[in-house]
Amino acid sequence: MRMKLLSVFAVVALLAACETAPTDGQAGAGTGGVQSTTAPAPAPAGPTPGTNEDFVVNVGDRVFFAFDSSELTAEARTTLEKQAFWLRKYPQTTVTLEGHCDERGTREYNLALGERRAAAARDYMVSLGVDPSRVTTISYGKERPAVLGSNEEAWAQNRRSVTVIN
Amino acid sequence: MEKLHDHVRSEGHAVLTPHTPVRPVAEPSRADLSRRGLGRLALGGALAGGLAGGVAGFARPAAAELRIDITQGRVEPLPVAIADFKGQGIEATRIGREVAGIIRADLERSGLFAPIDQQAFIQTDLEFDAVPRFGDWRLINAQALVHGRVTELGNRQVRVDFRLWDVFAEQYMTGTTLTVIPESLRRAAHIIADMIYKRITGEDGYFDSRIVYIAEEGPQNRRRKRMAIMDQDGANHQFLTDFGTLVLTPRFSPTHQEITYLAYYNNKPRVYIFNLDTGQQEVLGDFPGMTFAPRFSPDGNQVIMSLARDGITDLYRMDLRTRSVTRLTNSTSIDTSPSFSPDGTQVVFNSDRGGSQQLYLMDSNGAGVRRISFGQGRYATPVWSPRGDLIAFTKITGGEFHIGVMRVDGSGERLLASGFLVEAPSWAPNGRVLVYFKQQRTDSSGRGGESKLYTIDLTGYNERELVTPLDASDPAWSPLLR
């Protein structure tokens, strides 16, 4: 399933790249540029609504945290509100919230901190009306950085909770 | 020639049973091995008294005991002559050379001994049943002399005899006989090295032990990890799991051939037990959230660990016989990395209940929690020394990670090793040496990030890399093998 989704995503991404490159600024809009193709059977542009790709591109799948903190920033709340709205629109979907940390902590503490971040994100989504049974959490501590590099920019992007559509 | 029996009054004899890499070896018991060599039992108090704070030298009065006082700070390595063990025939000669080489490597790596190059030896006609020509060994400044004999007994049995001599006092110090199959020869050599270490330092050795750790490869954002085990010198390396499942933080049972660790089987991070005899892996309990940071109790009958649920991480204890679970902490903070005192009555752990990560002690039933670390920075991964007097930890301060030790009451903090990322100390079974890992910085293209194991003496000297086939992290030292 995961493999299939990935390959669909790859094709869609390629199409999107072809179509949006000339017009610029349409990336992520989800509808732009279709009419400009001459193909007889136009493929839908952008991710299929309701998929993880749709969620990543059109909602935003992750929120970020300050060092050694699990407090939700205003920006994080806005993202989670959009996520909750999306989840109400697709009531059949369930999600896993993955909590992550930067590399500047010890392994076991970071496992706990990652769990605390995922729980903070989940609690907020539940407070917005998302059924708790649709949300599970997992912590990877510092095991799965999103961005390479031992520098502040990378660490800021690695202190995150990522919402993955199951 | 002097009569040997004037020197050697009693020697132990032990039989080593077959040793397959992951199976325990039932014999010899350590007790049997320590019942040997009468030598002189008086300890060298006079020598120890004269060395406070300085570098120990080896000029000593003739009557003084040959002894390295390892209670001092830095110790100058003791020059020892370790001759290739002698044997009749090609195979016995080869074995004798191998055994002596392992003993030399163990003792040299400890930082307390300096094996002398065999090229310098004057007496090359050592006979096992004769007293050495001490004058020849004094000339090359050998303080101690080790020699031995290898005898093939047939039926794949090999007998290894050794003797340790105090060159300046012209005294026999210790010796033993071990009967082994070829697969156990390395163990025999480690046991002999432990006997030499103990006879000269007065403290138990740690060479007949193993290290379990996490082997790693790949870029940091697609890192793959698997559990591996090896002898403390890196020999007999073996993988215990494959790369298919993320595994972390393995720790030995003090009493059984078991390892407790964290694994992400089916994407559910839970504490498992790996049985080294059978290779079986078993999840521990049925908890409603992530369990991690496991450690055995000193009697091996309990595992203490963290359970994270709803953003709160508390400590729990599971009795492995009844499977009953006891909750030990009940706070809204992160309580993790618990470690029992060697008598099992107390637990040290780290918690952010006071705002940042610090070390706390409590009774093993969860009562009487009190903070013990008060320095600058964050403290983590406390591990109680097997001797009971010290707690090793990871400290994060000033943008660096450090390995340090403090007394049980939090006083006397000393930092032993530092770096960009240094983490996870584990004690050698004698409480004298620590193993930990160091990870290097990664650049934005993913270069760097190498992670390697290191050992260091409690004094903060003699830091050595412990070479592993792949990158390595999360080391844990075994108890002495039995």
State whether A108 and B336 contact (CB < 8 Å). Answer: yes
For residue B388, give the 3-state DSSP assignment.
coil
Q: What is the DSSP letter of B273?
A: E
Q: Does the pLDDT value for residue B206 go beyond 90?
A: yes
Give B103 to chain A, closest Cα distance, Å.
Answer: 35
Q: Quick one: pLDDT at residue B12?
A: 65
Residue B22: CATH number of its domain:
3.40.50.10070
CB–CB of B381/B337 below 8 Å? yes
**Claim to verify: residue A30 and residue A109 sit in the same structural domain:** no
Give B333 to chain A, closest Cα distance, Å.
Answer: 10
| pLDDT per residue as tens digits for the range A53-72 | 999 999 999 999 999 999 99
Give the Cα-Cα-Cα angle B230, B31, B103 (nearest 5 degrees). 45
Average pLDDT score, chain B: 88
Where a domain ends, among B201, B228, B253?
B201
CB–CB of B434/B424 below 8 Å? no
Query: Which residues are CB-contacts of B248 (< 8 A; sequence separation ≥ 6)?
Result: A107, A143, B214, B225, B261, B262, B263, B292, B474
Q: Quick one: pLDDT at residue A36?
A: 45
**Claim to verify: residue B177 and residue B324 sit in the same structural domain:** no
Instruction: Identify the closest residue of chain A to B440 by CA–CA distance.
Output: A150
Q: Does the pLDDT value for residue A25 go beyond 70?
A: no
| pLDDT per residue as tens digits for the range B98-147 | 999 999 999 999 999 999 999 999 999 999 999 999 999 999 999 999 99
**Claim to verify: residue A109 and residue A127 sit in the same structural domain:** yes
Where a domain ends, among B166, B201, B236?
B201
**Claim to verify: residue B93 and residue B111 sit in the same structural domain:** yes
For B52-85, letters b (16+ CB in 10 Å) and e give: eeeebeeebeeebbbbbbbeeeebebbbbbbbbb
Q: What is the DSSP letter of B7?
A: T
Where a domain ends, among B201, B228, B262?
B201
Tokens of B468: 């592993």
A47 pLDDT band, cuts 50/70/90, is confident
Domain tally for chain A? 2
Instruction: Identify the closest residue of chain B to A140 by CA–CA distance.
Output: B269
For residue B414, give the 3-state DSSP assignment.
strand
Q: Residues 414 to 473 of B: which have CB under 8 A from any A CB?
A: 420-421, 423-424, 439, 441-446, 448-449
CA-based Rg of chain A, rounded to a whole angstrom?
Answer: 18
Rounded to whole angstroms, the Cα distance separating B104 from B142 reads 14
How crowded is the C-beta side of B31, counted as CA atoms within 13 Å? 1
State whether B334 and A116 contact (CB < 8 Å). Answer: yes
Instruction: Identify the closest residue of chain A to B357 by CA–CA distance.
Output: A109
**Claim to verify: residue B304 and residue B438 sit in the same structural domain:** yes
Q: Quick one: pLDDT at residue B31?
A: 30
Instruction: Identify the closest residue of chain B to A145 by CA–CA distance.
Output: B221
Q: Quick one: pLDDT at residue B192?
A: 98
Phi, psi angles (nearest 5°) of residue B303: -120, 130
Q: Provide the residue type at A107 as one letter.
A: R
Tokens of B254: 């003090």
| pLDDT per residue as tens digits for the range B222-266 | 999 999 999 999 999 999 999 999 999 999 999 989 999 999 999
Q: Quick one: pLDDT at residue B75?
A: 75
Q: Provide the residue type at B226 as one letter.
A: R
Q: Quick one: pLDDT at residue A22?
A: 36
| pLDDT per residue as tens digits for the range A74-94 | 999 999 999 999 999 999 999
Between A and B, how many residue pairs show a Cβ–Cβ distance under 8 A?
103
- Burial category of B445 from C-beta neighbours within 10 Å (exposed 0-12, middle 13-18, buried 19 and up): exposed
Rounded to whole angstroms, the Cα distance separating B379 from B292 reads 18
Per the domain annotation, does B482 fall within a domain? Answer: no
Domain tally for chain B? 2
A112 → closest Cβ in B221, B308, B420? B308
| pLDDT per residue as tens digits for the range B296-306 | 999 999 999 99
Residue B246: CATH number of its domain:
2.120.10.30
Considering only CB atoms, which chain B residues are within 8 Å of A146?
221
| Full domain range(s) for residue A3 | 1-46
- Burial category of B188 from C-beta neighbours within 10 Å (exposed 0-12, middle 13-18, buried 19 and up): buried
Q: Quick one: pLDDT at residue A37?
A: 45
Q: How far is CA B159 from CA B15, B182, B274, B386, in A?
A: 9, 10, 34, 33
| pLDDT per residue as tens digits for the range B416-457 | 999 999 999 999 999 999 999 999 999 999 999 999 999 999
Residue B304's closest CA among B351, B357, B348? B348
For residue B468, give the 3-state DSSP assignment.
coil
Instruction: Identify the closest residue of chain A to B262 by CA–CA distance.
Output: A108
Reported ipTM: 0.87
Per the domain annotation, does B453 fall within a domain? Answer: yes
Assess B192–A contact: CB distance below 8 Å, yes or no: no
Rounded to whole angstroms, the Cα distance separating A20 from A29 reads 10
Residue A86: CATH number of its domain:
3.30.1330.60
Q: What is the DSSP string of A66-85?
A: -TT--PPPHHHHHHHHHHHH
| Full domain range(s) for residue B161 | 4-201
Rounded to whole angstroms, the Cα distance separating B262 from B270 reads 6
**Claim to verify: residue A69 and residue A32 sit in the same structural domain:** no
State whether A104 and B350 contact (CB < 8 Å). Answer: no
Q: What is the DSSP string of B277-337?
A: TT--EEE----SSEEEEEEE-TTSSEEEEEEEETTEEEEEEEETTT--EEE----SSBEEE
Q: Which of A38-42, A130-134, B68-72, B473-477 has the lowest mean pLDDT?
A: A38-42
Q: Which of B23-32, B80-89, B192-201, B253-262 has the lowest mean pLDDT?
A: B23-32
**Claim to verify: residue A52 and residue A109 sit in the same structural domain:** yes
Rounded to whole angstroms, the Cα distance separating B318 from B338 reads 13
Q: Quick one: pLDDT at residue B76?
A: 87
Q: Does the pLDDT value for residue B15 go beyond 90?
A: no
State whether B443 and A109 contact (CB < 8 Å). Answer: no
Q: Quick one: pLDDT at residue B274?
A: 97
